[in-house]
Structure 1
Amino acid sequence: MPDSEPSCPVLTAALHQIPTSCGVYLFKDKSGRVLYVGKAVNLKHRLSSYLKAQGKLNPKTTLLLQKMAQVDFLLTATEVEALILERNLIKEHRPRFNVVLRDDKNYLCLRLDLHEPFPRLALVRRFASDGAHYFGPFVSSAALRDILKVMKRVFRLRSCKDKGTPKRTRPCLNYQLGRCLAPCVGLVSEAEYRQAVQEALWFLQGQNKKLVRQLRTQMEAAAVDLKFEQAAILRDRLAAITRLIDRQSIATPSSKDQDVLGLAREGDQALVLLLFVRRGMVTGRLTYEFSQSDSSDAELLDAFLKQYYTPGRLMPEDILLPWPLPDQPLLEEMLREQKRAPVRLLASRRGHHGRLLDLAAENARAALKTLLEAKAQGEPLQELQQRLQLPRLPQRLECLDISTLQGAQSVGALVSFSDGQPNRSSYRRFRIREVEGQDDFAMLAEVVRRHYGRPGQALPDLLVIDGGRGQLAVVVKVLTELGLVAELPVVGLAKAGVTTTGKVVRDRLYLPGRKNPLFLPPGSPGLLLLMHLRDEAHRFAVSYHRQQARQEALQSVLTQVPGLGPQRQKNLLSRFADLTAIRQASLEDLLAVPGLPRAVAQALLDYFNNEKPKPSGPQSAPE
């Protein structure tokens, strides 16, 4: 191409309109879809650099400029604002040419609010600047629940979900099992309960020596006073705490919370590993795969930091980096403003920092090796493209499922997989509106029409229907009406089972225009991926159906109380966790609900008091 001819006419023509201010720019294609989002201190200078680097651009950027048909920009007052806006736009549009963090869900944390009269340990997924203590994140929910189980037995903090301390006439079963101190019925003073809270806080903060010393002192004092039963209880608590401490591995003498980043590469495959170090102990790790990435290591880490540490996510005091980043001071300022507390990005390899970074890098290499070995055993996407004769690689899969019980609380669910992994940000739920009674086919048609009939709705590379020939025919008919049948490949995946003649059949696929089902080899990567997709859709649909069923059951009870309209029911549900909590509430608790008059609160109390008692034994059920 001659030097006088611009390498990107669209960018050249738009350049004279671009200001020299700080902001964010967006490259879009002909249809208006965002291809790339970037930030710059000087927008004109940054966009000019694309034209000045003719012949020096990498293949990815060259392809981006070829597909770009429009340039937009948004101005910001500061660099930090530009950084935040860039992150939000990437998360919203998920541009093809940006490094995108696919699985950005929040993991479980423990919350302990010392401002409550009788604090409780709660499981949460989002961090809030509310003055409470947060501990985590915990990658394994099973491991976290094991810890909670031990903590209930050792510290005996209440676990009921009521807002505030419930007032009851008798303790729940957790007290009888030795898992709660029962502050709700006054069996423990606030000072004694506070002591148990302090011990739980020491444990969660890693002050194990102080906790063990305190328990041992209390045990010996009880033995001296001949309180042998109390001394035995303290002995058992001390043994349980010691066993839990022994399972934790010390990684650093520092008591700070730290996240450690490691990165590994093999060809165009890259993997970022995040190592969680809490109070000097390694508590877990997360891995994020980036396929077909020709971005530099610094670009990958920069994109990861922007997209992972979003509002609502628990942030450590220190984040250890394997090397310095160009925007490191700016990123540090953004994270500090977000947390409202100091956050340090450290690239130093001295002392224990270096040992932690080496550990993260070693784990990243091992995780990438395992990932590549698994891929070498079989590429499920390539297999599906070949066996189903798809026009393109099915990088984006979607699956629909319906969940109902004799036509009641009917819901639909859609799950999405990207590159063989769940993409939870694209999951969708649907309440069935147009169908009454038990008609799964009509429900499926409604969900397809509502979702794929929306203007501008992105289409997957393959739509999987949980069902056989009948369900597939319904979906194909709706897609034909929408004019999408030629653009959207669809298959039905029928479960293994026994036919009416007693013949055992395994999982099979039904394709449009084909009479007989298609059987993939048992255990083939493509079949296993589709089964995983279908099972995830079924799980998502069933969980939503149960949620709707519980809500409708609660509302059906509340509608029987005079004066409880929809708004007052909503206020009650926002104040109390469930029907059990409302049933156990006192008149004072009910009067604290906004907009609930005394007469209606008394009517609600009378309604529950007049209910026939259920044969549940001498104790109420545990929360």
Structure 2
Amino acid sequence: MADPNRYRPKPGEIPEEPGVYRFRDERGRVVYVGKAKSLRQRLNQYFADFSALHPRTQLMLTTAASVEWTVVNTEVEALQLEYSWIKEFDPRFNVKYRDDKSYPYLAVTMGEEFPRVQVMRGAKRKGTRYFGPYSHAWAIRETVDTLLRVFPVRTCSTGVFKRAGQIGRPCLLGYIGKCSAPCVKRISGDDHRALAEDFCDFMSGQTSRFIRKLTAEMKEAASEEEYERAARLRDDIKALERALEKQAVVLGDGTDCDVIALAEDQLEAAVQIFYVRGGRIRGQRGWVLEKVEETTPADLVEHFLGQFYGEGTSPDSNGIPREVLVPELPPDAEAMTQWLSERRDGPVQLRVPRRGDKKALAETVARNAKEALALHKLRRASDLTTRSKALNEIQDALELDDAPLRIECYDVSNLQGTHVVASMVVFEDGLARKSEYRRFSVKGYEGSDDISAIREVITRRFRRYLEEREQSGELDLLGDPEAGDPGHDQDQDQDQDERLVVSPQQRKFAYPPNLVVVDGGAGQVAAAAAALADLGIDDVAVCGLAKRLEEVWLPGQEYPVIMSRSSEGLYLLQRVRDEAHRFAITYHRAKRGKAAITSALDGVPGLGPSRRAALLKAFGSVKAISSASPQEIAAAVPGIGPKLAESVVIALRQASVQRAGDQQNSMPNPGGSRDND
């Protein structure tokens, strides 16, 4: 492992001009490529304070053994050179995009003597025009089957084509009119190529031309009393219209654009792109990437644009359009726009949609990206080999005696110190056991004292564990709980612990975890370890996962454990932590809303428990009461007059406004998880 100070450039040696730099390892392999407006300013950031750098950047610097740079004249040249080097050297620490699946394309082999229409995957071939990609191969086959009525282009393989020519008899499609049968010379090579070009023009968006042409021919045939030909042309028009119906119009102005969206977490990101041509979605594609360096959404957009449009894609499929819609503009938006314009040989507009149909479409693409990332995580988590590897990596990193087959994770959620709640989620064999999730209502720790809240929740959970062991006979002597915790009311704890499942058979507090994970850093870990120590429990491991740098903290350790960013163990810990956060947030929102409504009705003079119950019985829900008018409330519930009904409506409306303000003003808690989603 190299020391960055050994290959640090001398002061004043680095130029201030824009350029591209490369870090190489001891064997001369390029491990990272970057660009900068000022090489001196950018490279000095790497060597200024090593301890302040992100762990991933530290790993890159210690892996590298030298750095070199190339000065260019403009930022556009730097962008072009950076892309060329990334493509040439495939650096280990640069962001890499990989398809989340193999997408099929509709391909027309215009390079052959008799062009063929087929479904293709994988690398693109020279002389072939591509359309798509599509989500499913069956979608392509349905489209082709519809269009072959109007454009009877060859679809058979080379072997079938040659065999039909040898025996002088076409295949079934030739007999039913869905192939012009060039194999038996029913159509000349030039005429068949013209059919294939018309097919490509229709798929490229020139749809109205063909429909107008067929409509004119149909009217002409009808005027000449060729009714069979007119009926056939009518059916051809309907076939083209059916093909167009499958490609929904999303932009009424007929815009050509690419719509890009991102969904990310701390370790991975998903990118989705929709190709819109003539206002219709012509295809979509997705990627999933592992973050090997610290990046922002704007950086991800810049990397994606450079890698995707740098491939020189065909304008027949997904070439650079006049407009590219992105979730955020890249850091050097002007340079990127100029670079795209040069590759397109025409103007390109790069912008973030703010309103209208384009914003709605961008939100749809963003939902697809979010679902793609969730699906990728689900597939990754469901793999048995991957789960086993993750548990073994956690065991090795935390130096545990056994793999943590049962993991419990705890998270605290509050809103500016009020309505403090906590969650406990359980993962067994790397999979969530939702039937054993628990929720805690924490009282007496108003404010931002999440460390004390963690200690209380751990104490309550494991005191229950000891109690149930004593009741089952596993533990001979528990001792007097009041002696260990003066003034502690266990019945109150029983009321405060909210459970998803209240059946006694499913209360498995007597089953201890192998590993307790808390959402937080050294302070939260120390609190959890202290709670276990106070109860005399020494066979349960404890760790914490801090959000900022995804560091794993252990009790009594001065420095955290840094797990590899590609580690399946870190990925599992992150999933456990995120699930605990989600579960706590859900409970917190429900509790906060219930408290706001209850307090609002409690404050109405003259509205006692019986009348509150009568209100709920009459309207069915608090939401229905809020929507009712004072006259409807007075008429529905005996004993509530117009004045009291109006007071109820005002109180509920004020509570609703206050809840909305609380959600808008919620802020993150440095010591734990708050409702800031």
- Letter of the 1:262 partner, please give it: A
- Using the TM superposition, give the Cα deviation of residue 306 of structure 1 relative to its aligned residue in structure 2, in angstroms: 1.5
Match of 2:360 in 1: 355
Match of 2:97 in 1: 101
Match of 1:241 in 2: 240
Q: Does 1:278 align with 2:277?
A: yes
Q: Residues 10 and 68 of structure 1 are in contact (CA less than 8 Å); yes or no, is this contact kept in structure 2?
A: no
Match of 1:316 in 2: 320
2: CA distance, partners of 1:55 / 1:45: 18
Match of 2:388 in 1: 383
2: CA distance, partners of 1:371 / 1:119: 37
Q: The residue matched to 2:210 in structure 1 has which SS?
A: helix
Q: Residues 259 and 276 of structure 1 are in contact (CA less than 8 Å); yes or no, is this contact kept in structure 2?
A: yes
1: CA distance, partners of 2:289 / 2:188: 54
Q: The residue matched to 1:155 in structure 2 has which SS?
A: coil
1:377/1:253 CA distance change after superposition, 3 Å:
same
Match of 2:148 in 1: 152
2: CA distance, partners of 1:9 / 1:128: 47
Q: Residues 155 and 200 of structure 1 are in contact (CA less than 8 Å); yes or no, is this contact kept in structure 2?
A: yes
Match of 2:31 in 1: 35
2: CA distance, partners of 1:250 / 1:286: 18
Q: Residues 8 and 51 of structure 1 are in contact (CA less than 8 Å); yes or no, is this contact kept in structure 2?
A: yes
Match of 1:299 in 2: 299
- Using the TM superposition, give the Cα deviation of residue 38 of structure 1 relative to its aligned residue in structure 2, in angstroms: 0.7
TM-score, with normalisation over the residues of structure 1? Answer: 0.52
Partner deviation per Cα, 1:96-130 (whole Å, 9 max, x = no partner): 32211134999665567999998765777777999
Moved more, 276-285 or 121-130: 121-130
Q: Residues 381 and 387 of structure 2 are in contact (CA less than 8 Å); yes or no, is this contact kept in structure 1?
A: no
Q: Does 1:215 align with 2:214?
A: yes
Partner deviation per Cα, 1:115-157 (whole Å, 9 max, x = no partner): 9998765777777999x97643445444324323332232113
2: CA distance, partners of 1:340 / 1:105: 31
1:267/1:356 CA distance change after superposition, 3 Å:
same
2: CA distance, partners of 1:198 / 1:69: 55
CA-based RMSD = 4.3
Q: Residues 25 and 64 of structure 2 are in contact (CA less than 8 Å); yes or no, is this contact kept in structure 1?
A: yes
1:340/1:52 CA distance change after superposition, 3 Å:
same
Q: Does 1:60 align with 2:56?
A: yes
2: CA distance, partners of 1:388 / 1:291: 18
Q: The residue matched to 2:8 in structure 1 has which SS?
A: helix
2: CA distance, partners of 1:384 / 1:52: 37
Match of 1:180 in 2: 179
Match of 1:263 in 2: 262
2: CA distance, partners of 1:192 / 1:172: 17
Give the 5 Å matches for 1:545-560: none
- Using the TM superposition, give the Cα deviation of residue 252 of structure 1 relative to its aligned residue in structure 2, in angstroms: 1.2
- Using the TM superposition, give the Cα deviation of residue 321 of structure 1 relative to its aligned residue in structure 2, in angstroms: 0.7
Which of 54, 69, 76 does residue 73 from structure 1 map onto? 69
Q: The residue matched to 2:132 in structure 1 has which SS?
A: strand
Greater helix fraction, Structure 1 or Structure 2: 2
Q: Does 1:91 align with 2:95?
A: no
Q: The residue matched to 1:322 in structure 2 has which SS?
A: coil
Q: Rg: which structure is higher? A: 2
1: CA distance, partners of 2:229 / 2:110: 26
Q: Does 1:335 align with 2:343?
A: no
1: CA distance, partners of 2:266 / 2:369: 15
- Using the TM superposition, give the Cα deviation of residue 320 of structure 1 relative to its aligned residue in structure 2, in angstroms: 0.7
1:113/1:68 CA distance change after superposition, 3 Å:
closer
Q: Residues 104 and 308 of structure 1 are in contact (CA less than 8 Å); yes or no, is this contact kept in structure 2?
A: no
Partner deviation per Cα, 1:321-376 (whole Å, 9 max, x = no partner): 11221122222222333333433322232332212211122222233333334444
Moved more, 374-383 or 360-369: 374-383
TM-score, with normalisation over the residues of structure 2? Answer: 0.48
- Using the TM superposition, give the Cα deviation of residue 381 of structure 1 relative to its aligned residue in structure 2, in angstroms: 2.5
Unaligned runs of 5+ residues in structure 2 are 398-567, 569-677
Q: The residue matched to 2:98 in structure 1 has which SS?
A: coil
- Letter of the 1:295 partner, please give it: T
Q: Residues 257 and 316 of structure 1 are in contact (CA less than 8 Å); yes or no, is this contact kept in structure 2?
A: no
1:102/1:209 CA distance change after superposition, 3 Å:
closer
Match of 2:631 in 1: none
Q: The residue matched to 1:147 in structure 2 has which SS?
A: helix
Q: Residues 100 and 286 of structure 2 are in contact (CA less than 8 Å); yes or no, is this contact kept in structure 1?
A: no
1: CA distance, partners of 2:213 / 2:139: 26
Match of 1:325 in 2: 330
